[in-house]
Structure 1
Amino acid sequence: MMDEMTGDGMRSEHEAIIIGGGQSGLATAYYLLRAGVDTLVLDDQPAPGGAWLHVWPSMTLFSTAEFSNLPGWPMPLYDGFPPAQHVVDYLTAYEQRYKIPVERPVRVDRIEHEEGIFRVRAGNKVWSAQNVVAATGTWSAPFVPNYPGTFRGTHWHSANYPGIEPFRGTRVAVVGGANSGAQIAAELTRVAEVTWYTRRPPRWMPDEVDGRVLFRRNRLRALAIQRGEPDPGADSDLGDIVALPEVRDARDTGRLQATPMFTSLDEVDADHLIWCTGFRPALGPVRRLLDGTTPRYSALHLVGYGDWTGPGAATITGVGPYAKQAAREIAESVGKVVK
């Protein structure tokens, strides 16, 4: 490949380009750079931290710091479950420690593939690469189910939930029977009249279970898949909701109680409706290069989209094996080796 430059003097041709500078992009870059692969990360955020820059103020990890590590370097210790800023600081330091080349903010508009080369376009900038890794996560693609009827209050999603202040003294409906719904509903019970809608009665994990147990289960699933065995699936008896301290307190004091799911928005009598209904892969310009969920080109790799790409792939600790596998395939394609 010719060593061309962009208009701002940056090199435009690389062996691999990673789209997304969050935990999945950094983990993949770590392995590629160790193998000597010429790598560039394009990130649409103004600073390091990925989706963790946008989570609600009280959100924490489900795991303690020692179970929340990217490859190569452990997260600094924290007493309890680390908050978002601790994670952002870790991702920032990780990027600096391994001198990961990131250009930001860059919002990729289009990706083209011709004669074995990808052209990655963002405005009037163009980069070329033999390999592309999509590591764009899910946070920017919140999912809201379709229900009949009309809700005349304010709609929110866990993706843009700002914390408790706008909801003081109001009536709030929270939809979703998993972790985000339980956490947001629990903290709002301190300041608002909350109705927590779930499709089925909440399935609480045992109080002693946290992300460490979930990580071990996901690791067993990933290893089985790598051996060519059937995916044993999630532990269906374990439950859906990690009983973090505030959630457990709200549940045990009776402030947090579930209400059967409504069938029409006309039934929701509240000032605010917060959808805690999950996300979809934020594939953006990568989508046109896929057949369903399968890349059309072997040099296109998807990393970090949850069970869609592998058990635990959307977690800080769980993404490592998938990042390493993508990096290994890329390195082999350019005559290098991931160790």
Structure 2
Amino acid sequence: MEILDAVVIGAGQAGLSTAYHLGRHGMSHVVLDADGGPGGAWQHRWDSLTMRDVHGIAALPDSAAPGGSERRASDVLPAYFGAYEAAHDIPVLRPVRVDRVTDDHGLLVTHAGERTWTSRTVVNATGTWSHPFVPRYPGMQTFAGEQLHTADYPGPEHFRGRRTVVVGGGASAVQLLGEIALVTDTLWVTRRPPVWRTDDFTPEAGRAAVALVEDRVRRGLPPASVVSVTGLALREQEQEAARLGAYERHPMFASVQPDGVRFADGAFEPAEVILWATGFRPAVTHLGPLHLRSEHGGIRLDGTTAVADPRVQLVGYGPSASTIGANRAGRTAARGVVAWVERAQATA
């Protein structure tokens, strides 16, 4: 039986960064990716999301990232990731969907159907895209129209002439309203009033925002998104939607009815589509057998190391969910793997 130093689960930015650094340290490893091709979550993003919209991508280690352009992110970034895998001989196996990770007498066993991999450590880099979150509201099952999540967004033409309620107070809601409001009547609802950023988003502000998210995972709380603490800003391409009133926020409705939504004060708004731009949750259910969650519901981390089980590293979780954070986390996780392997060898 081959015993690897590490199994990396996920081949997005965080997973590839980790694999690169593991290779530099001489750690035996494999990367298991659930998708059929390279690109991580980027290959699933909506067609209208361009490289200009994502404000550029942090370069993977020892490479140059593609710049901003009008090309689709779902084309550019999978090609970039694929070329990176080939150039650095990243050992990716796909499609491999991991079911669970278990403990076997001090070693970790990663299961995917009938296949298993045994390793001294596991680096979880599964991100959030595969776990879209939709809150539950009374009457949702009675809605006669269409309900979609950001993950299923088909582009603005799908909504033309169909009154659409957009739910959510994050950047995705703002971006999608910027497109949909140009082709149909929209209504924006959020649980809390949005926080608009009026100043420039400086590197210092970014680091402060990441620090707030890091503090949550250090205490074992469920991670908040970095965007939730940075505030929202309208880009140039969203100014026309703003002029049309798309960003006049309404409080969250109390229930869903067959032909619309009902608010707590009794007011009713008709709707033919509800778009849930309500975010994602970390894809970590396969780690359940290791009992990593704290009493607060999150996984407590020391850097990228799971406090409950230091054989497990988490990247792309909490503060490392951004591309810049993912690169730093990959380097840190690789060092954590090396430290554990050296400790295990010293005590063997």
> Normalising TM by the smaller chain, what interval?
0.7 to 0.9
TM-score by length of 2: 0.80
Instruction: Output the amino acid matched with 2:341.
Output: V
Q: Which of 6, 22, 33 matches 1:43?
A: 33
C-alpha distance in structure 2 between counterparts of 1:119 and 1:201, whole Å: 45
Secondary structure of residue in 2 paired with 1:128: strand
Q: 1:262 aligns with which of 250, 253, 258?
A: 253
Cα distance change of structure 1 residues 43 and 146 upon mapping to structure 2, 3 Å threshold: same
CA distance in 2: counterparts of 1:114 and 1:301, whole angstroms: 18
More helix as a share of residues: 2
Question: Structure 2: any 5+ residue segments left out of the alignment?
Answer: 217-223, 263-268, 294-298, 301-305, 344-348
Q: Name which of 151, 155, 162 aligns with 1:163.
A: 155
**Cα distance between partner residues in 1 of 2:92 and 2:226:** 38
**Count of residue correspondences:** 315
Residue of 124, 129, 137 corresponding to 1:134: 124
The letter for the 2-side match of 1:165 is E
Shift of residue 216, structure 1, vs aligned partner: 3.9
What percentage of residue pairs aligned between the two structures are identical? Answer: 38
Q: Within 1, Cα distance between the matches of 2:205 and 2:241?
A: 23
Aligned amino acid, residue 287 of structure 1: G
| The 10-residue stretch of structure 1 (250-259 or 325-334) with the greater mean CA deviation from structure 2 | 250-259
Contact 1:157/1:274, CA 8 A, preserved across alignment: yes
**What code does the residue aligned with 1:187 have?**
E
The offset of 1:118, in angstroms, is 1.3
Question: Structure 1 residues 72, 249: closer, same or farther in 2, change over 3 A?
Answer: farther
The answer as to whether partners of 1:20 and 1:134 remain within 8 angstroms in 2 is: yes
1:230-262 CA-to-partner distances (Å, cap 9, x unmatched) read: xxx999998522322222332145344322221
Conserved? CA contact 1:43–1:107, under 8 Å: yes
Structure-2 residue corresponding to 1:6: none
Q: Give, in angstroms, the shift of residue 166 of structure 1.
A: 2.0
Segment drifting more, 139-148 vs 99-108: 139-148
| Residue-by-residue CA offset, 1:160-187 (whole Å, 9 max, x unaligned) | 1111232111111100111111111120
C-alpha distance in structure 2 between counterparts of 1:25 and 1:253, whole Å? 41
Say if 1:250 and 1:256, in contact at 8 Å, map to a contact too. Answer: yes
In the other structure, the counterpart of 1:94 is: 84
Aligned-pair CA distance for 1:87: 2.4
- Looking at structure 2, the residues matched to 168 and 148 of structure 1 have their Cα atoms a distance apart, in angstroms, of 27
**1:117 to partner: Cα distance:** 1.1
Q: CA deviation at 1:29?
A: 0.7
Unaligned runs of 5+ in 1: 4-12, 226-232
- Match for residue 71 of structure 1 among 52, 61, 75: 61
Query: Alignment partner for residue 331 of structure 1, among 315, 330, 338?
Result: 338
For 2:197, the equivalent position in structure 1 comes to 205
State yes or no: 1:125 paired with 2:115.
yes
Aligned AA (2:311): A
How many angstroms does 1:101 deviate by? Answer: 0.5
Under a length normalisation based on structure 1, what TM-score does the superposition of the two structures give?
0.82
Change (3 A) 1:246 1:42: same
C-alpha separation between the residues in 1 aligned to 2:215 and 2:167? 34
Does the 8 Å CA contact 1:32/1:39 hold for their aligned counterparts? yes
Q: Is the 8 A contact 1:147 1:265 kept in 2?
A: yes
Aligned to 1:317: 324
CA RMSD of aligned residues (A): 3.2
8 A Cα contact 1:174 1:185, kept in partner: yes
Q: 1:90 to 1:218 in 2, by over 3 A?
A: farther
The CA distance in 2 between the partners of 1:166 and 1:236, in whole Å, is 27
